[in-house]
Structure 1
Amino acid sequence: MAAASLLSSCAGSDATRPASGHRGPVRAPSPQGRQAAEHARLVAAAERWGLKRVPLTPPPPPAEKPEITARAGFEVSHQEDWDLPPVFTTIPTKRKIVFLTIDDGSEKDPRFLKMMQDLKIPYTAFLSDYLVKDDYGYFRRMQSYGHTLDNHTLHHPYLPGLSYEDQKHEICGMQDIMKKQFGKRPTVFRPPYGNYNQDTLRAAKACGIKYAPIWNEEVYVDHWEYREDDQKMRRGDIVLTHFRGRSDWDGTMIDDMRRFLNKITREGYAVARLEDYL
């Protein structure tokens, strides 16, 4: 019994003694430590992707979402009394933010997914089925990273040239594809080329659409285009670009995003998530 007691005492002593090479329990990093580590990671990511500065972090989503109405001059007849989806180019906000939207789905560059994930840049993709159906998996991966996939019609037609029923087929048909391939029917729709008429918005509403954002600026690999005459960005502007590569542009999606991020960061803007404001 004495021997057993001695062995038990020794075991208890070993169990309470810190392991060799350790100086006590490991403490979780403080919030300040985690913030510093994340900033260091972003600095390295910005350098790796050739950015001049680290992209700015957007503010938290608003506690109360802004009221979204059709931009003046962009309404159709019966816009309000038929409660048609509003067409708009800017989110009303005092925050110095813009929203990145990317159309169609032609180019499927895995480096683009990696770049945006590394830099934590949110964006919304507006997809046309005829361009994405060869690789739905690429966009499922995009969705798994937290980016939103929205409706851009089945075949990207000039909608005002179609009948109401044909427009409805283009929009509702894409809603069905989105549900089957990505799990939900969007409530956000962008008309191809930014062209629409009353039938477009009637059809969109019938298909479950609540919002029809277009854009205020468009970015390419070698230049920007502006809707406003003063050629300036504004708080809450929606920025358009496309899934394009060297077959269409003199550059890649990486080049395009580098131009976009360098400009908005230089001008003091952060990229916010569009859906957080709708």
Structure 2
Amino acid sequence: MTLDDGQEKDPRFVAMLRELKVPVTMFLTKDDIQDDYGYFKPLQELGNRIQDHTVTHPVLPTLGPEGQKREICGDRDALTEQYGTAPTLLRPPFGRWNSATQEAARECGISGIVMWRASMQIHDFQYDDPKKELHPGDILLAHFRGPKQLKGETMTQMFAHLLKQIEKRGFAVGRLEDYISVR
């Protein structure tokens, strides 16, 4: 389970993850979280890792190599300063990346680019799989979003729907970093 951006900061979501002990990996964008870095610290204290999602959430391939490096390294630097651990993974915004992204990520100390197989859409998934199925080991994407983006629902409600859908399909949530090698 991965959560991107960091726009919504619902305290009930922190309480939910604390109570249910659901592991997540957070790909955070500096511009979305800088107004409240502290919100993500209790989530990190639960053992959840914070990873790189760029400073401003651009379409990386539209930037030159140096622009991509500024976005990735800038986010890494801010996250490292705030959370004490350097990100080792990158989720490119919009899932868009190219060879310059790989090189910039490597130069910023990132060891892997992480994509997803299905994304949460309020009540169900949007699948990359044409059969519209989840498979063992699939990486799921959700976002730190609020009622404006979720048609009146809260992030906590969306995540509860997500967990029910996962359980209904016979799966459980695992921590991304437990299944991939990161340095």
Structure 1: where are the runs of 5+ without partners? 1-99
The runs of at least 4 aligned residues of structure 1 exceeding 4 Å deviation read none
Q: CA deviation at 1:142?
A: 1.3
- Residues 37-76 of structure 1 mapped to structure 2, 5 A cutoff: none
Distance in 2 separating the partners of 1:253 and 1:194? 22
Pair 1:263-2:165 in alignment? yes
CA distance in 2 between counterparts of 1:248 and 1:260 reads: 16
Give deviations 1:165-205, integer Å, cap 9, x for gaps: 00000001111101111102111110000000100011001
Q: Which amino acid aligns with 2:12?
A: R
Check conservation: 1:150, 1:188, Cα contact below 8 A: yes
Q: Give the match's secondary structure for 1:174.
A: helix
CA shift digits 1:152-174 (9 cap, x unpaired): 00000000000000000000111
Give unpaired runs (5+ residues) of structure 2. Answer: none
1:276 and 2:178 equivalent?
yes
Percent sequence identity over aligned pairs: 43
- Give the structure 2 partner of residue 253 of structure 1: 155
Larger Rg: 1
2:43 alignment counterpart: 142
Pairwise CA distance, 1:223: 3.1
Contact 2:54–2:92, Cα closer than 8 Å, also in 1? yes
CA distance in 2, matches of 1:120, 1:230: 30
Alignment RMSD: 0.8
C-alpha displacement at 1:222, in angstroms? 3.0
Contact kept, 8 Å, 1:151 with 1:186, in 2: the verdict is: yes
- Determine the structure 1 residue equivalent to 2:120: 219
Taking structure 1 as reference, are residues 193 and 253 closer, same or farther at Cα in structure 2, changes over 3 Å only? same
**Match for 2:178: what amino acid?**
D
Q: How many residues align?
A: 179
| Offset, 1:237 | 0.1
Q: Are the counterparts in 2 of residues 164 and 203 from structure 1 also a CA contact under 8 Å?
A: yes
